[in-house]
Chains A and B, each alone.
Chain A
Amino acid sequence: MVVFDRPKALIDVPTHYCPGCTHGIVHRLVAEVIDELGIEGKTIGIAPVGCSVMAYNYFKCDMIEAAHGRAPAVATGVKRADPNNIVFTYQGDGDLASIGTAETVHAAARNENITVIFINNAIYGMTGGQMAPTSLPGQVTQTSPYGRDVKACGYPVKICEMLSQLDGPEYLERVTVNSVPNIRNAKKAIKKAFTNQLEGKGFSLIEVLSSCPTNWGMTPQNALKWIDEKMIPYYPLGVYKDRSGEEK
Protein backbone atom coordinates (compact mmCIF):
# COMPACT_ATOMS: atom_id res chain seq x y z
CA MET A 1 0.00 0.00 0.00
CA VAL A 2 1.36 3.38 -0.97
CA VAL A 3 1.02 5.78 1.95
CA PHE A 4 3.15 8.57 0.58
CA ASP A 5 3.74 9.48 -3.05
CA ARG A 6 4.69 12.42 -5.19
CA PRO A 7 1.66 14.38 -6.41
CA LYS A 8 1.10 13.81 -10.12
CA ALA A 9 1.13 17.54 -10.80
CA LEU A 10 4.75 17.77 -9.66
CA ILE A 11 7.58 16.75 -11.96
CA ASP A 12 10.10 14.27 -10.56
CA VAL A 13 13.17 16.52 -10.51
CA PRO A 14 15.36 17.85 -7.71
CA THR A 15 14.41 21.42 -6.81
CA HIS A 16 16.91 24.22 -6.26
CA TYR A 17 15.43 25.17 -2.88
CA CYS A 18 17.69 25.25 0.20
CA PRO A 19 17.40 22.56 2.84
CA GLY A 20 14.67 23.40 5.30
CA CYS A 21 12.95 25.89 3.01
CA THR A 22 9.17 25.57 3.05
CA HIS A 23 8.68 26.32 -0.65
CA GLY A 24 8.77 22.57 -1.25
CA ILE A 25 5.87 22.01 1.13
CA VAL A 26 3.75 24.70 -0.50
CA HIS A 27 4.56 23.38 -3.99
CA ARG A 28 3.42 20.00 -2.80
CA LEU A 29 0.18 21.36 -1.36
CA VAL A 30 -0.65 23.20 -4.57
CA ALA A 31 0.10 20.07 -6.61
CA GLU A 32 -2.03 17.87 -4.33
CA VAL A 33 -4.94 20.27 -4.73
CA ILE A 34 -4.51 20.26 -8.53
CA ASP A 35 -4.54 16.45 -8.44
CA GLU A 36 -7.56 16.24 -6.17
CA LEU A 37 -9.57 18.69 -8.28
CA GLY A 38 -8.44 16.98 -11.49
CA ILE A 39 -7.51 20.25 -13.14
CA GLU A 40 -3.91 19.72 -14.24
CA GLY A 41 -4.81 19.74 -17.94
CA LYS A 42 -6.46 23.13 -17.73
CA THR A 43 -4.25 24.81 -15.18
CA ILE A 44 -1.68 27.46 -16.03
CA GLY A 45 0.72 28.56 -13.32
CA ILE A 46 2.60 31.85 -13.24
CA ALA A 47 6.01 31.89 -11.60
CA PRO A 48 7.41 35.12 -10.15
CA VAL A 49 10.88 36.55 -9.88
CA GLY A 50 12.33 35.46 -6.57
CA CYS A 51 13.29 32.10 -5.11
CA SER A 52 10.40 30.36 -6.85
CA VAL A 53 11.39 31.80 -10.23
CA MET A 54 12.00 28.29 -11.54
CA ALA A 55 8.72 26.86 -10.31
CA TYR A 56 7.99 26.35 -14.02
CA ASN A 57 10.37 23.42 -13.91
CA TYR A 58 8.50 21.72 -11.08
CA PHE A 59 4.81 21.88 -11.95
CA LYS A 60 3.56 19.60 -14.66
CA CYS A 61 0.85 21.97 -15.86
CA ASP A 62 1.59 24.73 -18.37
CA MET A 63 3.74 27.40 -16.80
CA ILE A 64 4.67 31.02 -17.51
CA GLU A 65 7.56 32.98 -16.09
CA ALA A 66 6.49 36.58 -15.45
CA ALA A 67 8.46 39.77 -14.95
CA HIS A 68 9.08 40.78 -11.33
CA GLY A 69 5.79 41.65 -9.66
CA ARG A 70 3.68 41.31 -12.78
CA ALA A 71 2.26 37.84 -12.24
CA PRO A 72 -1.28 39.05 -11.41
CA ALA A 73 -1.37 41.07 -14.64
CA VAL A 74 -0.08 38.12 -16.65
CA ALA A 75 -2.62 35.89 -14.91
CA THR A 76 -5.35 38.37 -15.81
CA GLY A 77 -4.38 38.05 -19.47
CA VAL A 78 -4.25 34.25 -19.36
CA LYS A 79 -7.60 34.03 -17.58
CA ARG A 80 -9.30 36.49 -19.91
CA ALA A 81 -7.93 34.60 -22.90
CA ASP A 82 -9.81 31.51 -21.75
CA PRO A 83 -11.94 31.86 -18.64
CA ASN A 84 -12.42 28.08 -18.49
CA ASN A 85 -8.78 27.58 -17.60
CA ILE A 86 -7.56 27.64 -14.01
CA VAL A 87 -4.84 30.20 -13.40
CA PHE A 88 -2.67 30.57 -10.34
CA THR A 89 0.24 32.80 -9.45
CA TYR A 90 2.92 31.78 -7.01
CA GLN A 91 4.70 34.84 -5.66
CA GLY A 92 7.06 35.87 -2.91
CA ASP A 93 6.87 38.95 -0.72
CA GLY A 94 9.20 41.16 -2.75
CA ASP A 95 7.35 40.25 -5.91
CA LEU A 96 3.82 40.58 -4.59
CA ALA A 97 4.09 43.17 -1.82
CA SER A 98 6.79 45.50 -3.12
CA ILE A 99 7.48 45.77 -6.82
CA GLY A 100 4.11 44.28 -7.78
CA THR A 101 1.89 45.98 -5.21
CA ALA A 102 -0.16 47.76 -7.83
CA GLU A 103 -0.78 44.59 -9.83
CA THR A 104 -1.76 42.75 -6.63
CA VAL A 105 -4.14 45.41 -5.38
CA HIS A 106 -5.86 45.91 -8.71
CA ALA A 107 -6.27 42.22 -9.52
CA ALA A 108 -7.92 41.95 -6.09
CA ALA A 109 -10.03 45.06 -6.67
CA ARG A 110 -11.26 43.61 -9.98
CA ASN A 111 -11.99 40.35 -8.19
CA GLU A 112 -10.09 38.73 -11.02
CA ASN A 113 -11.03 35.07 -11.01
CA ILE A 114 -7.56 33.76 -10.20
CA THR A 115 -5.77 32.09 -7.30
CA VAL A 116 -2.76 33.76 -5.71
CA ILE A 117 -0.32 31.83 -3.54
CA PHE A 118 1.70 34.36 -1.58
CA ILE A 119 4.85 33.17 0.14
CA ASN A 120 5.74 35.57 2.96
CA ASN A 121 9.13 34.76 4.45
CA ALA A 122 10.01 38.30 5.47
CA ILE A 123 13.14 38.42 3.33
CA TYR A 124 14.50 38.53 -0.21
CA GLY A 125 15.83 35.02 -0.64
CA MET A 126 17.09 34.78 -4.20
CA THR A 127 19.27 37.87 -4.04
CA GLY A 128 20.77 36.75 -0.75
CA GLY A 129 18.83 38.08 2.20
CA GLN A 130 17.87 41.72 1.79
CA MET A 131 15.08 43.52 3.59
CA ALA A 132 11.63 42.68 2.27
CA PRO A 133 8.45 44.78 2.48
CA THR A 134 7.38 42.19 5.05
CA SER A 135 10.60 42.11 7.11
CA LEU A 136 9.73 42.64 10.76
CA PRO A 137 10.63 45.79 12.69
CA GLY A 138 14.14 45.32 14.01
CA GLN A 139 14.85 42.37 11.70
CA VAL A 140 18.48 42.20 10.64
CA THR A 141 19.04 41.66 6.93
CA GLN A 142 21.83 42.49 4.51
CA THR A 143 20.21 45.85 3.74
CA SER A 144 19.03 46.50 7.29
CA PRO A 145 22.26 45.49 9.06
CA TYR A 146 21.28 47.33 12.26
CA GLY A 147 17.77 45.94 12.23
CA ARG A 148 14.80 47.31 10.31
CA ASP A 149 14.43 50.86 11.56
CA VAL A 150 10.80 51.74 11.01
CA LYS A 151 11.64 55.46 11.17
CA ALA A 152 13.88 55.12 8.14
CA CYS A 153 12.30 52.25 6.20
CA GLY A 154 8.73 52.23 7.36
CA TYR A 155 6.59 49.38 8.57
CA PRO A 156 5.93 45.96 7.09
CA VAL A 157 3.08 45.61 4.63
CA LYS A 158 0.27 43.38 5.88
CA ILE A 159 -1.21 42.17 2.65
CA CYS A 160 -4.24 40.26 3.91
CA GLU A 161 -5.27 43.11 6.19
CA MET A 162 -4.76 45.66 3.44
CA LEU A 163 -6.63 43.77 0.73
CA SER A 164 -9.47 42.97 3.13
CA GLN A 165 -10.42 46.66 2.95
CA LEU A 166 -11.30 46.24 -0.71
CA ASP A 167 -14.79 45.29 -1.85
CA GLY A 168 -13.35 43.18 -4.65
CA PRO A 169 -11.62 40.06 -3.37
CA GLU A 170 -13.52 36.86 -2.70
CA TYR A 171 -11.22 35.15 -0.25
CA LEU A 172 -8.16 36.13 1.80
CA GLU A 173 -6.54 33.85 4.33
CA ARG A 174 -3.19 33.75 6.12
CA VAL A 175 -1.78 30.33 6.96
CA THR A 176 1.60 28.83 7.73
CA VAL A 177 3.35 25.51 7.17
CA ASN A 178 5.58 25.19 10.24
CA SER A 179 3.77 22.20 11.78
CA VAL A 180 1.65 19.29 10.64
CA PRO A 181 -1.67 20.82 11.80
CA ASN A 182 -0.71 24.13 10.19
CA ILE A 183 0.17 22.35 6.95
CA ARG A 184 -3.25 20.65 6.98
CA ASN A 185 -4.93 24.04 7.43
CA ALA A 186 -2.84 25.54 4.69
CA LYS A 187 -3.91 22.83 2.29
CA LYS A 188 -7.55 23.41 3.16
CA ALA A 189 -7.14 27.11 2.41
CA ILE A 190 -5.34 26.47 -0.87
CA LYS A 191 -8.00 24.02 -1.93
CA LYS A 192 -10.69 26.57 -1.17
CA ALA A 193 -8.81 29.16 -3.19
CA PHE A 194 -8.78 26.88 -6.24
CA THR A 195 -12.37 25.74 -5.69
CA ASN A 196 -13.48 29.36 -5.56
CA GLN A 197 -11.97 29.87 -8.99
CA LEU A 198 -13.63 26.75 -10.36
CA GLU A 199 -16.93 28.10 -9.08
CA GLY A 200 -16.28 31.48 -10.69
CA LYS A 201 -16.22 33.31 -7.38
CA GLY A 202 -13.17 35.43 -8.04
CA PHE A 203 -9.93 36.51 -6.46
CA SER A 204 -8.54 34.30 -3.71
CA LEU A 205 -5.20 34.93 -2.05
CA ILE A 206 -3.56 32.60 0.43
CA GLU A 207 -0.66 34.15 2.32
CA VAL A 208 1.68 31.45 3.59
CA LEU A 209 4.10 32.43 6.36
CA SER A 210 7.22 30.56 5.31
CA SER A 211 10.72 30.01 6.57
CA CYS A 212 14.06 30.96 5.08
CA PRO A 213 16.65 29.26 7.30
CA THR A 214 19.51 30.20 4.97
CA ASN A 215 18.94 33.93 4.95
CA TRP A 216 17.57 34.10 8.47
CA GLY A 217 20.80 32.37 9.57
CA MET A 218 18.99 29.65 11.52
CA THR A 219 18.63 25.90 11.58
CA PRO A 220 15.45 24.70 9.90
CA GLN A 221 13.96 23.81 13.28
CA ASN A 222 14.71 27.23 14.74
CA ALA A 223 13.33 28.86 11.64
CA LEU A 224 10.01 27.07 12.14
CA LYS A 225 10.01 28.23 15.75
CA TRP A 226 10.77 31.81 14.62
CA ILE A 227 7.56 31.74 12.60
CA ASP A 228 5.63 30.93 15.78
CA GLU A 229 7.48 33.36 17.98
CA LYS A 230 8.02 36.36 15.74
CA MET A 231 5.97 36.18 12.59
CA ILE A 232 2.58 35.00 13.73
CA PRO A 233 2.31 37.68 16.45
CA TYR A 234 2.88 40.33 13.76
CA TYR A 235 0.97 38.51 11.03
CA PRO A 236 -1.93 36.73 12.77
CA LEU A 237 -3.23 33.65 11.00
CA GLY A 238 -6.83 33.47 9.92
CA VAL A 239 -9.44 34.31 7.34
CA TYR A 240 -9.42 38.03 6.50
CA LYS A 241 -12.18 38.02 3.96
CA ASP A 242 -14.66 35.44 2.79
CA ARG A 243 -17.55 36.57 0.65
CA SER A 244 -18.98 33.08 0.21
CA GLY A 245 -21.44 33.80 3.02
CA GLU A 246 -22.57 37.06 1.44
CA GLU A 247 -25.67 37.24 -0.64
CA LYS A 248 -24.63 37.81 -4.20
Chain B
Amino acid sequence: MEKQYLFSGFGGQGILFAGKFLAYKGLIEGNEVSWLPSYGPEMRGGTASCSVVISDKAVASPIVAKPDVLIAMNLPSLDRFENSVRSGGYIFADSSLIERKVKRDDVNVYYVPATKLASDNGIPTLANMILMGKVLSVFGEFDDQNATSALKKVVSAKHADMLDVNLGALKIGADYKD
Protein backbone atom coordinates (compact mmCIF):
# COMPACT_ATOMS: atom_id res chain seq x y z
CA MET B 1 0.00 0.00 0.00
CA GLU B 2 1.52 3.28 -1.13
CA LYS B 3 0.15 6.77 -0.66
CA GLN B 4 1.47 9.76 -2.59
CA TYR B 5 1.02 13.25 -1.21
CA LEU B 6 1.60 16.57 -2.89
CA PHE B 7 1.77 19.73 -0.75
CA SER B 8 1.73 23.05 -2.47
CA GLY B 9 1.47 26.68 -1.51
CA PHE B 10 3.42 29.91 -1.24
CA GLY B 11 7.02 29.87 -0.09
CA GLY B 12 6.92 30.65 3.63
CA GLN B 13 3.69 28.76 4.37
CA GLY B 14 5.61 25.84 5.80
CA ILE B 15 4.96 23.48 2.92
CA LEU B 16 8.32 21.72 3.22
CA PHE B 17 8.03 21.53 7.00
CA ALA B 18 4.60 19.92 6.89
CA GLY B 19 5.84 17.41 4.34
CA LYS B 20 8.84 16.59 6.45
CA PHE B 21 6.62 16.04 9.47
CA LEU B 22 4.44 13.64 7.52
CA ALA B 23 7.49 11.77 6.19
CA TYR B 24 8.92 11.38 9.69
CA LYS B 25 5.61 10.20 11.03
CA GLY B 26 5.53 7.60 8.27
CA LEU B 27 9.06 6.52 9.10
CA ILE B 28 8.28 6.23 12.81
CA GLU B 29 5.31 4.06 11.95
CA GLY B 30 7.59 1.63 10.15
CA ASN B 31 7.05 2.68 6.56
CA GLU B 32 9.37 3.49 3.70
CA VAL B 33 9.18 7.18 2.88
CA SER B 34 10.53 9.80 0.52
CA TRP B 35 10.31 13.59 0.56
CA LEU B 36 11.13 15.68 -2.45
CA PRO B 37 10.91 19.48 -2.48
CA SER B 38 10.70 21.82 -5.41
CA TYR B 39 13.85 23.89 -5.39
CA GLY B 40 15.38 26.92 -6.97
CA PRO B 41 14.06 30.45 -7.43
CA GLU B 42 10.52 29.24 -6.84
CA MET B 43 11.49 28.62 -3.23
CA ARG B 44 11.96 32.36 -2.83
CA GLY B 45 8.46 33.76 -2.52
CA GLY B 46 6.84 31.87 -5.37
CA THR B 47 5.13 28.51 -5.27
CA ALA B 48 6.71 25.85 -3.12
CA SER B 49 5.71 22.26 -3.35
CA CYS B 50 6.86 18.98 -1.98
CA SER B 51 6.07 15.37 -2.71
CA VAL B 52 5.87 12.79 0.03
CA VAL B 53 5.48 9.08 -0.62
CA ILE B 54 4.67 6.69 2.21
CA SER B 55 4.72 3.02 1.37
CA ASP B 56 4.87 -0.35 3.07
CA LYS B 57 7.54 -1.41 0.57
CA ALA B 58 10.51 0.38 -1.01
CA VAL B 59 9.40 3.62 -2.61
CA ALA B 60 9.71 3.11 -6.35
CA SER B 61 9.80 6.72 -7.34
CA PRO B 62 9.90 9.81 -5.12
CA ILE B 63 8.36 11.89 -7.88
CA VAL B 64 4.65 12.34 -7.47
CA ALA B 65 3.00 12.92 -10.82
CA LYS B 66 -0.50 11.72 -9.84
CA PRO B 67 -1.00 12.35 -6.15
CA ASP B 68 -3.47 10.41 -4.08
CA VAL B 69 -3.67 13.44 -1.84
CA LEU B 70 -3.26 17.10 -2.79
CA ILE B 71 -2.92 19.68 -0.05
CA ALA B 72 -3.34 23.08 -1.65
CA MET B 73 -2.60 26.17 0.40
CA ASN B 74 -3.17 28.75 -2.33
CA LEU B 75 -5.12 29.22 -5.54
CA PRO B 76 -2.19 28.82 -7.97
CA SER B 77 -1.51 25.43 -6.39
CA LEU B 78 -5.07 24.25 -6.84
CA ASP B 79 -5.13 25.59 -10.41
CA ARG B 80 -1.91 23.83 -11.22
CA PHE B 81 -2.43 20.46 -9.57
CA GLU B 82 -6.20 19.86 -9.36
CA ASN B 83 -6.28 17.78 -12.53
CA SER B 84 -3.27 15.70 -11.57
CA VAL B 85 -5.00 14.09 -8.58
CA ARG B 86 -5.81 10.42 -9.08
CA SER B 87 -9.49 9.69 -9.57
CA GLY B 88 -10.92 8.78 -6.17
CA GLY B 89 -8.16 10.76 -4.48
CA TYR B 90 -8.34 13.60 -1.98
CA ILE B 91 -7.96 17.36 -2.14
CA PHE B 92 -7.53 19.45 1.01
CA ALA B 93 -7.81 23.16 0.36
CA ASP B 94 -7.15 26.16 2.59
CA SER B 95 -10.48 27.85 2.00
CA SER B 96 -9.35 31.10 3.62
CA LEU B 97 -7.03 31.66 0.68
CA ILE B 98 -8.79 29.72 -2.07
CA GLU B 99 -12.15 31.20 -2.89
CA ARG B 100 -13.19 28.86 -5.66
CA LYS B 101 -14.46 25.31 -5.27
CA VAL B 102 -12.80 22.23 -6.67
CA LYS B 103 -14.23 21.57 -10.13
CA ARG B 104 -13.81 17.82 -10.23
CA ASP B 105 -16.47 15.49 -8.90
CA ASP B 106 -14.44 12.28 -8.85
CA VAL B 107 -12.32 13.24 -5.85
CA ASN B 108 -12.98 13.73 -2.14
CA VAL B 109 -12.70 17.37 -1.17
CA TYR B 110 -12.16 18.99 2.23
CA TYR B 111 -12.20 22.74 2.71
CA VAL B 112 -10.49 24.00 5.83
CA PRO B 113 -10.12 27.74 6.51
CA ALA B 114 -6.68 26.98 7.90
CA THR B 115 -5.16 30.43 7.64
CA LYS B 116 -8.14 32.01 9.41
CA LEU B 117 -8.17 29.30 12.10
CA ALA B 118 -4.46 29.88 12.61
CA SER B 119 -4.78 33.60 13.09
CA ASP B 120 -7.91 33.21 15.27
CA ASN B 121 -5.90 30.92 17.52
CA GLY B 122 -2.89 33.21 17.68
CA ILE B 123 -0.66 30.87 15.69
CA PRO B 124 -0.59 32.64 12.32
CA THR B 125 2.36 30.63 11.00
CA LEU B 126 0.78 27.25 11.57
CA ALA B 127 -1.99 27.04 8.97
CA ASN B 128 0.10 24.27 7.41
CA MET B 129 -0.15 22.08 10.50
CA ILE B 130 -3.87 22.82 10.95
CA LEU B 131 -4.45 21.52 7.44
CA MET B 132 -2.19 18.58 8.21
CA GLY B 133 -4.26 17.76 11.28
CA LYS B 134 -7.35 17.54 9.09
CA VAL B 135 -5.53 15.26 6.63
CA LEU B 136 -4.51 12.90 9.42
CA SER B 137 -7.96 12.77 10.98
CA VAL B 138 -9.70 12.09 7.65
CA PHE B 139 -7.41 9.11 7.14
CA GLY B 140 -7.80 7.99 10.75
CA GLU B 141 -4.08 8.43 11.20
CA PHE B 142 -4.07 10.97 13.99
CA ASP B 143 -2.02 9.58 16.81
CA ASP B 144 -0.80 11.87 19.59
CA GLN B 145 2.26 9.85 20.39
CA ASN B 146 3.54 9.36 16.85
CA ALA B 147 2.74 12.94 15.95
CA THR B 148 4.75 14.13 18.94
CA SER B 149 7.67 11.89 18.04
CA ALA B 150 7.61 13.15 14.47
CA LEU B 151 7.41 16.76 15.61
CA LYS B 152 10.48 16.20 17.78
CA LYS B 153 12.36 15.26 14.62
CA VAL B 154 11.36 18.33 12.65
CA VAL B 155 11.15 21.07 15.28
CA SER B 156 14.70 22.18 16.00
CA ALA B 157 15.97 21.84 19.56
CA LYS B 158 16.21 25.56 20.09
CA HIS B 159 12.51 25.94 19.33
CA ALA B 160 11.42 23.11 21.63
CA ASP B 161 8.64 25.36 22.96
CA MET B 162 7.04 25.07 19.53
CA LEU B 163 6.39 21.34 19.99
CA ASP B 164 3.15 21.78 21.89
CA VAL B 165 2.07 24.65 19.71
CA ASN B 166 2.46 22.47 16.63
CA LEU B 167 0.61 19.63 18.29
CA GLY B 168 -2.15 22.09 19.20
CA ALA B 169 -2.37 23.19 15.56
CA LEU B 170 -2.71 19.58 14.43
CA LYS B 171 -5.56 19.12 16.89
CA ILE B 172 -7.38 22.26 15.74
CA GLY B 173 -7.32 20.86 12.23
CA ALA B 174 -8.30 17.38 13.33
CA ASP B 175 -11.29 18.70 15.25
CA TYR B 176 -12.48 21.03 12.51
CA LYS B 177 -15.82 20.09 10.99
CA ASP B 178 -17.00 21.80 7.85
A and B touch in the complex (CB under 8 A): no
A interface residue numbers (CB < 8 A to B):
none
Interface of B with A (CB < 8 Å)?
none
